[in-house]
Amino acid sequence: MLADEQNPELLAELARISNAAGLITICSLAAADSESIERAREVVGEERFVAVDAGALAADPMKASEEICWMLEARGFIPEDMGPLIEGAGI
């Protein structure tokens, strides 16, 4: 999902609409401040919002994607033990 970084509220609103349609929506901002993150959390909804600090993830893209999948599994967004999500199987 793409939106102008000058208007992060639009990105959060698009994510809310996508979630209402049953989609898992992943949004990325280069440098989101804590106030913007909290506003996005309010728009999307606490129960559907997961903030990920890219700096805290593994440097290897495959390991980072696994860490994100674990977060999504822990929150119940995707089922646990559904196998690898690679080569077009989901991610």
The pLDDT tens digits for 22-52 are 888 877 777 677 888 888 888 888 888 888 8
Tokens of 58: 């593994």
Please provide the average confidence, as pLDDT, over all residues in the chain: 79
On whether the pTM is more than 0.75, the answer is: no
In one-letter notation, the amino acid at residue 68 is: I
d(CA 37, CA 45): 12
- 8-20 vs 34-44: helix axis angle to the nearest 10? 30
Tokens of 50: 């997961």
Collapsed DSSP state (helix, strand, coil) of residue 1: coil
* Residue 6 or residue 54, greater confidence: 54
pLDDT score, position 60: 92
